Amino acid sequence: MISIDAVGRWITQLTGRTLDQHAADPIPAAADLPQAAINLRHARTQLLLTVDRLRTALINEDDLSGTIAAVTGPLDGIEQLGREYRYARNWAEALIGDADRAAYAKENAGKPLRRRYVNPGDTILVILPHTNSCRQRQLAGRRTRVRVGRADAELDLMVGPGQLRLAHADAGIYHDPAHGFYVLEPAADEPAASGD
């Protein structure tokens, strides 16, 4: 069984920061890393499943008892998925190698954060991350209410005229493959939490 967050561990090893800590950094390359990790996880999973199907067809001798398409079909799929994997990995590596991200990380310690899990339909208060999309719309760093949807989030109408929908990553909503959607909040100081 593959690890559910091998990509997160890989990014943490290379950068010294967790995906959650990157998400909270005010640098677009860092804030975009959680979405890059989701894309890379998805590409890896699809490639693994397709390779597994081909392996199973060969073990079961489907290539000998059926048509040649039992082998050539999955091979074509593997080639396409290999390209998608390469693009996803290249994007993640470009964000990891970004000079501004590395300089910020060197000068600033990663913030201690905690996850608060949310469900579609919840209306929550978030600080919009510094993703490229939020910066282009001049929304990065704003504190606002959003309504969590299954595929995106709807911003509070007080932010601007008309209805605005953002991708989860641009609304500060992240997806844990095992536990679902969550937002990030500063972790409570240990002495403050204990009442000292």
Does 115 or 161 have the greater pLDDT score? 115
Q: Can you give the residue range of the structural domain that contains 68?
A: 6-105
- Region 153-162: mean pLDDT is 66
The distance from CA 100 to its chain's CA centroid, rounded to whole angstroms, is 20
pTM summary value: 0.82
Residue 131, burial from CB neighbour count under 10 angstroms (0-12, 13-18, 19+):
buried
Residue 1 lies in a domain: no
Q: Tell me, what's the pLDDT at 21?
A: 93
Query: Of 89, 105, 121, which marks where a domain is finished?
Result: 105
User: Does 120 lie in the same domain as 40?
Assistant: no
Q: Tell me, what's the pLDDT at 80?
A: 94
Residue 135 lies in a domain: yes
Q: Tell me, what's the pLDDT at 64?
A: 81
Q: Residue 50 pLDDT > 50, yes or no?
A: yes
Q: Tell me, what's the pLDDT at 193?
A: 38
Q: Residue 28 pLDDT > 90, yes or no?
A: yes
User: Does 127 lie in the same domain as 149?
Assistant: yes
> How many domains does the chain divide into?
2
Q: Tell me, what's the pLDDT at 157?
A: 57
